[in-house]
Amino acid sequence: MPNGLRALDALGLAEEVRGHVMHATHGGLRDRRGRPLLVTDLAQAQQEVGMPAMIERAELHQALRAPLPPDLVRTVTLVERLEH
């Protein structure tokens, strides 16, 4: 959504995300069974808050990790202990 794009703009990453935009007419959230929890009319949302950009989660994660040193973010890593 536009607030997320503004945050990505501040990080210098919004153009990478905008390059992967998927066009849709509606969106929303679903529960684990696929039932709608929230349905969004994207045309109305665009009029009210600006153009949303949708990107696959894996592509967003890749765009966020790309400018970082390779060893800074580790994924698929077992956490054995967590302390305050």
Average pLDDT, 10 consecutive residues per value, the chain (84 residues): 82 79 71 87 73 77 87 87 91
The tokens for 3 are: 């607030």
11 part of a folded domain: yes
Give a yes or no: residue 76 inside a domain.
no
Is residue 20 in some structural domain? yes
In-domain check, residue 23: yes
Tell which residue, 65, 49, 71, 51, has the closest CA to residue 16.
65
Number of domains in the chain: 1
Examine residue 80 and state whether it is found in any structural domain, yes or no: no
- Whether 71 maps to a domain, the answer reads no
Per residue in 7-20, pLDDT tens? Answer: 888 988 888 777 76
Q: Which domain holds residue 49?
A: 2-65
**Can you give the pTM of this predicted structure?**
0.55
Q: Would residue 82 count as lying in a domain? A: no
Whether 77 is covered by a domain: the verdict is no
**Cβ atoms of residues 1 and 21 within 8 Å:** no
Distance between the two ends of the chain, CA-based, in angstroms? 33
